Chains A and B, each alone.
Chain A
């Protein structure tokens, strides 16, 4: 008797489990589990730990740390190097993002027109983005602009005096901006998709009304593309704020901290000088700044974006 009832309970239990396991949400969670674990372990938990550490004097290599309240944030306020790196980063963002977007848009426009071999060109223009922000590329760019490098020698070949790009705090930014602009591929692809999405009828109608190519571009294509421009602007701005590799590899932040981007300055505090607490505090301020800038872009976007379907 008892054996029968036991097996009965077991059966019921098993059924219950299998019912839970067979619901769509559970299956979904199980499939998403690797991501969820990674997101918790490598993103969310470390993020909030860094928020906690930003209120401590945690120093790598030293045992123990203390709660020091807002001292790290106060230190930032009085740290001229922090303000300088913020200024440098803003300058980089304001110079490199628009140039990169304009470049990506123009190339995308040219490559969406129908001519022989357009696919080959599209792939070729995307190549620099594939090799991306890698260290090897940064090393090559550094070599090209250095004393005795290709760019330096070409300028000398035309009879001018070679420019010491990395010898001046203002000039040193230029090769870094070039390198950033050169990797316009991701923006280009998205622009190209956007351009192809514009209804052909608009352009034909404009052409029949006598609009020339330039007018079509500025009056039809550009307005229709504004949602895409918004998306690219936000993504590129965020990426530019976090620029690190170029400065780390090519200039080391120099000369005279002219390219000491905030990401590099945070890295140095965290891992070179081991001030983990202070670096955490700066990271959170950077997060705040990027959030505010993105917020401003999104807020103002209502005035200049145009949605075809509305």
Chain B
């Protein structure tokens, strides 16, 4: 027994020593190691690792190790690493970047010394990932814009004019109600996130929801939200939009009622249109969906803004920022890499990359290019990126509490507006 114990102890000791020694050895072979992580689908993992392999082939002095996961597991990994102060050299972030701002190194010096070549894009595209302090927090992996996908055939069948750029929220509401009445389907599916739609609705009136000061809101009169809430309540109570119980069954874009012909419109980001249209076509090849801009205020500003779908940011804990930046430059500028990626993360911001990819696009992908062009033609430049570290908390309250009670008829639009305002003001106060 004693002998066995001794043996086990020795074995453990040896194993630990061997592990420690190999770990030390690793760092000393003249190769710089950088780490990178992202979230996404299996398809994204496959093409991203392919690009990483290509990069290592061209840059034998750099070894890239990578990790990935779906959205939830990615952010729990990131949170753990952030707490330990050991974030990957390059890590993917979306519009929630203010939460991690402590961990991001601004890229400005690398852009000005040319390590990251931005000569093939416009200042507007750089601005969409730049904070109001002028810090470039990342280089966009691609752009998209919120819009509406719709089924033109259903509009025709209901005798409602198809949406045209510049249509108003009143026209949108009318179309939704008319389609529901004529066809017995929903006119509109779900808004993925009412907080985003509401922010856009307000921005068209020139009012920002958030303020550059994280402890403030961008507006002080709750009544600006009332028309939005009134429209939202009307449509659900009239049966033209799913109620909370029905909406609960709709969890992803491939399960959207528009795919099954149960609604005539869906709210989405342009890169989601590819999955939506493919799913609808798989069920019924005769269906041809289209994309259009969000409704706007009468005579108001352009409805859809071009936003960065996500970006890679450089982490403060990076020990080899130069190597990481070299990868980043390759990632956004290499035509070869982007031919593998095919704009899966959004339409690339580099002109020379777009020029190569556009002719290769399938009809569905071509529709998203046309959509982004449509916004460009309407003069919808990139919006200022305003967010708040407590945004998710306020959005959850708005989506899961206020909207539910509103469309169930438990509160009036005026009460909804007041409650959202009070809650948001109280919550940003904790910043």
Q: Do A and B come from one complex?
A: yes
B244 at the interface (CB under 8 A from A): yes
Closest Cβ neighbor of B401 among chain A residues: A257
Known: A147-B249, A254-B244. Is A169-B82 also a contact (CB below 8 A)?
A: no
A180 to B242, CA, bound (A): 28
Q: Which residues from chain B contact A257 at a C-beta distance below 8 Å?
A: 400-401, 404
A61 at the interface (CB under 8 A from B): yes
B17 at the interface (CB under 8 A from A): no
- Chain B positions 397-431 with a Cβ under 8 Å from a chain A Cβ: 397, 400-401, 404-405, 408, 410, 426, 430
**B392 & A272 in contact (Cβ 8 Å cutoff):** yes
A146 to B246, CA, bound (A): 8
The contact size tier of chain B is 20 to 34
**A61 & B244 in contact (Cβ 8 Å cutoff):** no
**B79 & A167 in contact (Cβ 8 Å cutoff):** no
* Minimum distance in angstroms from B284 CB to a CB of chain A: 19
A166 at the interface (CB under 8 A from B): yes
- Chain A positions 250-288 with a Cβ under 8 Å from a chain B Cβ: 251-257, 260, 268, 271-275
Stretch at the interface among B99-107, B190-198, B263-271: B99-107
Known: A255-B404, A271-B76. Is A61-B102 also a contact (CB below 8 A)?
A: yes
Closest Cβ neighbor of A60 among chain B residues: B79
B60 at the interface (CB under 8 A from A): no
* Minimum distance in angstroms from B250 CB to a CB of chain A: 10
Known: A167-B246, A257-B401. Is A61-B103 also a contact (CB below 8 A)?
A: yes
Q: Which residues from chain B contact A251 at a C-beta distance below 8 Å?
A: 248
**B392 & A164 in contact (Cβ 8 Å cutoff):** no
**A253 & B400 in contact (Cβ 8 Å cutoff):** yes
B135 at the interface (CB under 8 A from A): no
Q: Which residues from chain A contact B344 at a C-beta distance below 8 Å?
A: none
Closest Cβ neighbor of B427 among chain A residues: A273
Q: Which of B85, B99, B103, B246 contacts A274 (CB 8 A)?
A: B99
B208 at the interface (CB under 8 A from A): no
> Can you list, as one digit per residue, whether each of A163-197 has a CB less than 8 Å from chain B (1) or not (0)?
01111110010000000000000000000000000
* Minimum distance in angstroms from B191 CB to a CB of chain A: 15
Closest Cβ neighbor of A278 among chain B residues: B430
Closest Cβ neighbor of B405 among chain A residues: A256
A60 to B87, CA, bound (A): 13
B245 at the interface (CB under 8 A from A): yes
**B400 & A254 in contact (Cβ 8 Å cutoff):** yes
Q: Which residues from chain B contact A272 at a C-beta distance below 8 Å?
A: 392, 396
**B401 & A166 in contact (Cβ 8 Å cutoff):** no
- Chain A positions 109-148 with a Cβ under 8 Å from a chain B Cβ: 146-148
Given A169-B408, A254-B400, A271-B79, 10 more A-B residue pairs with CB atoms under 8 Å apart are A61-B78, A146-B245, A165-B245, A167-B246, A169-B404, A172-B245, A255-B400, A256-B400, A256-B410, A272-B396
State the 6 A-B residue pairs at the shortest beta-carbon distance, nearest first: A167-B245, A164-B245, A256-B404, A255-B244, A166-B245, A255-B404
Would you list 24 pairs from A and B whose C-beta atoms are within 8 A, ordered by A residue? A60-B79, A60-B83, A61-B83, A62-B99, A75-B430, A78-B426, A81-B401, A146-B245, A146-B249, A147-B245, A166-B244, A168-B245, A169-B404, A172-B245, A252-B248, A254-B244, A254-B404, A255-B245, A255-B248, A256-B244, A271-B76, A274-B79, A275-B393, A275-B430
